[in-house]
Structure 1
Amino acid sequence: MEQAPSHHMRLERDRAPESPSLSPIISHATLDELTHAPPARPPPTPLAALLLPHQFLSVVFPVTLALGSLFGFIGGDRPSYFSNKRNIFNMLFVKNGWGWTSLVFWIYLAVVFGQALLNQNHRPEPSSGVGVHRPEQDQASQDIHATATATDASASSSSTTTRTRTRSSPREQDKEPQSLVGTNLPASGTVSNARVASDVIVKALVRWGLATLYWWLISQWFFGPGLFDRVFVLTGGSCSVDGHWSQHHCRRQGGLWSGGVDISGHMFLLTHAFLFLMEELSVFMNVPEAWTAIRDRASARYAVWAVVALNGLWWWMLLMTSVYYHHLAEKMTGLFFGMLFWFCSYATTYKTLAFPSMPDQAVVL
């Protein structure tokens, strides 16, 4: 009488055939894993593929404009401290908005990244750190480990039913955090020998310079008066004091700037400044380990929170502008120009350029 095949024989029969030509990934994967691979993920939506997680905060600005304008329209624009243009926040901060933005950014750059570079140059190469996982750095060691494991598994297959996989199975890989295409966003929780790049400050200063140039052309000088002042004059606006084609100089001479489409300079400046600082602070929004890296550096923590606090003020003053000042069309055009530079740089172009590129998301601070 034939004997029923033993449990050991069934395992041997079900096992994928050994072949020296197969890679360790295939020879150590079970039949179930090979024949029941998880279905391919559907392609992301165009917006999800374009924006990094923190960049979805940009929706705050049109929402703030809409809600603030609606609140003012239904009677919420009654006189208050913020309805007076001479309130301290407007006179001291918003009137010098790009100056404050630049100052806080320089401090943040020097304290957080400059000090990290100095410390890095005076310490030996670390054995591990917080950053992005780079499999190519340890590929050789993985291959050696894969060969050794394959040999051990073949020798012990008759005495054990447990097979060790040297690399992640398709299901395990499916669970790994996926970086967005075209970005340097690291997988959450990964550890490697990432360090602060030597050109991180140069790139950041170039990005600041381009943002400053855009602000200058819009509000200060565009082959004469700024672009907004030119639009105002072209749409029929003028100064009550003859010979002044700039809003700033007109009002300094006691004139009245009226008659044309006065695009909201406040809406433009506050949006532009907020988005610039948000992007430069993005490593602390995308990589939780960045906060751990500055846990023992009080000055770095203060610099980060200074950026957060200034952006909080910019958002509040943008809300007050939405409630109390300008017509809806003037606020909408100001918002458009405020978001235009961000969209053309951080949201799109910088992701494809090696220089100045996006702010580094894979650094040890």
Structure 2
Amino acid sequence: MPPPSTSSTTTPPNTLSRYTPPPTTLLIYPATLLLGSLFSVLSPTAQQSPTPELAQARPINYFARKDNIFNLYFVKIGWVWMTLAFTSLLITYPTSLERGRRQIQAFSRYVLATVVWYATTQWFFGPAIIDRSFVFTGGKCETILRDLGQSQDEKGVLGAAAAGDEPLSVYLTAVACKTAGGAWRGGHDVSGHVFMLVLVTAVLGYEALGVLAQAPSESREEVNGKKSEDTESGGQVRTWALWFVGVVAGLGWWMLLMTAIWFHTWLEKANGLIISLAAVYTIYFLPRRIIPLRNFVGVPGA
């Protein structure tokens, strides 16, 4: 009687090491933040801009401006770029008997990462986690524009808005506060940029490594009794997809370094880093030890 076949979803953890790099690869992120933070403290250039207002009026460095083109059209819509890059990898998975399963598991990893990003920075049964923590630590919306208060007072919405101040309960998110012309001040502002950039670059990096691990072996697999080899066009598409992912991840790392230099306190950056690393570890490393989780999200390349 032949031995029962072993499903790839129950692959022993020691055989997964060739697919997923060790968790120590995540040290690149605290190292990047440390490098940027030290530069911000030690560099005479960085020390020439003592206040954000001065930095905006006379920027010492282009990346010290919040309205620089990379911040506006890359970081601010970072999850759009992440989704495009992830999709480009997903549709170029090498052809094999395992392709469908791997694509479904990869999509599951994307969904988990998206849920974490959305809950942390966009919405979590109301204000996002970052906004909730800011308000919880004493933050509030200040210096609302006088004309906003007057216009709302004329409509009878606010009875005490003649001075141009809105009740705190009206503005519980940074976006709403800034849209109303106010300033989000006084609390602990976890760095959403650090959180998002670390999550994006780590997810794309591990997914790209998984695709690279699949391609050489799967091009030699037999599918329906025939050799399955990547066509020249398919290989070119995958190459372009990997280049696109590399550009997005590389620019994400660069903007992480710029954030470390020009924005946020050490603690705010550290907290953004901790949240993102916890998510990455849960999605990409815990499945190597927890079989039910591995059956659901898989491991890139395995």
- Would you say same fold, with TM above 0.5? yes
Aligned residue number for residue 340 of structure 1: 278
Q: Is the 8 A contact 1:211 1:341 kept in 2?
A: yes
Q: Distance in 1 between matches of 2:111 and 2:31?
A: 29
Q: Is the 8 A contact 2:214 2:301 kept in 1?
A: no
Q: Distance in 1 between matches of 2:29 and 2:230?
A: 30
Alignment RMSD (CA, Å): 2.5
Q: Distance in 1 between matches of 2:19 and 2:237?
A: 31
Aligned residue number for residue 201 of structure 1: 103
Q: Distance in 2 between matches of 1:67 and 1:56?
A: 18
Q: Is the 8 A contact 1:229 1:246 kept in 2?
A: yes
Aligned residue number for residue 120 of structure 2: 218
Aligned residue number for residue 356 of structure 1: 297
Distance 1:338 1:299, change over 3 A: same
Q: Is the 8 A contact 1:237 1:257 kept in 2?
A: yes
Query: How do residues 145-156 of structure 1 correspond to structure 2 at under 5 angstroms?
Result: none
Q: Is the 8 A contact 1:294 1:300 kept in 2?
A: no
Q: Does 1:304 align with 2:245?
A: no
Aligned residue number for residue 318 of structure 1: 256
1:327 corresponds to which of 247, 262, 265? 265
Q: Which runs of 5 or more structure 2 residues have no equivalent in the other structure?
A: 1-16, 49-59, 145-165, 220-228
Post-superposition CA distance 1:223-255 (Å, at most 9, x none): 110001000001110012431110011111211
Question: 3-state DSSP class of the match of 2:284?
Answer: coil
Distance 1:209 1:85, change over 3 A: same
Aligned residue number for residue 28 of structure 2: 60
Higher relative contact order (CA 8 A, sep 6+): 2
Shift of 1:57: 2.5
Q: Distance in 1 between matches of 2:215 and 2:81?
A: 27
Larger radius of gyration: 1
Q: Is the 8 A contact 1:228 1:263 kept in 2?
A: yes
Aligned residue number for residue 224 of structure 2: none
Question: 3-state DSSP class of the match of 1:282?
Answer: helix
Question: 3-state DSSP class of the match of 1:281?
Answer: helix
Shift of 1:343: 1.0
Distance 1:248 1:213, change over 3 A: same
Distance 1:268 1:227, change over 3 A: same
Aligned residue number for residue 153 of structure 1: none
Post-superposition CA distance 1:254-299 (Å, at most 9, x none): 1101110001000000001111111211225556837987683211
Q: Does 1:109 align with 2:50?
A: no
Provide TM-score, normalisation by structure 1. 0.60
Shift of 1:201: 1.7
Amino acid at match of 1:337: I
Q: Is the 8 A contact 1:237 1:259 kept in 2?
A: yes
Q: Distance in 2 between matches of 1:307 and 1:291?
A: 21
Q: Distance in 2 between matches of 1:203 and 1:338?
A: 20
Q: Is the 8 A contact 1:54 1:285 kept in 2?
A: no
Judge which range, 80-89 or 344-353, deviates more: 344-353
Identity %: 34
Amino acid at match of 2:40: G
Aligned residue number for residue 262 of structure 1: 189
Q: Distance in 2 between matches of 1:109 and 1:356?
A: 14
Q: Which runs of 5 or more structure 1 residues have no equivalent in the other structure?
A: 1-48, 118-193
Post-superposition CA distance 1:195-229 (Å, at most 9, x none): 44322222111111111011111111111100010
Q: Distance in 2 between matches of 1:50 and 1:329?
A: 35
Q: Is the 8 A contact 1:108 1:300 kept in 2?
A: yes
Aligned residue number for residue 283 of structure 1: 210
Amino acid at match of 1:349: P
Query: How do residues 90-105 of structure 1 correspond to structure 2 at under 5 angstroms?
Result: 90-105=71-86
Amino acid at match of 1:226: A
Question: 3-state DSSP class of the match of 1:239?
Answer: strand
Question: 3-state DSSP class of the match of 1:322?
Answer: helix
Q: Distance in 2 between matches of 1:290 and 1:202?
A: 20
Provide TM-score, normalisation by structure 2. 0.71
Aligned residue number for residue 82 of structure 1: 63
Q: Is the 8 A contact 2:116 2:279 kept in 1?
A: yes
Q: Is the 8 A contact 1:50 1:348 kept in 2?
A: no
Distance 1:50 1:304, change over 3 A: closer
Amino acid at match of 1:57: T
Q: Distance in 2 between matches of 1:294 and 1:71?
A: 46
Judge which range, 340-349 or 218-227, deviates more: 340-349
Alignment size in residue pairs? 235
Higher helix fraction (1 or 2): 2
Post-superposition CA distance 1:13-70 (Å, at most 9, x none): xxxxxxxxxxxxxxxxxxxxxxxxxxxxxxxxxxxx8994365331110001111100
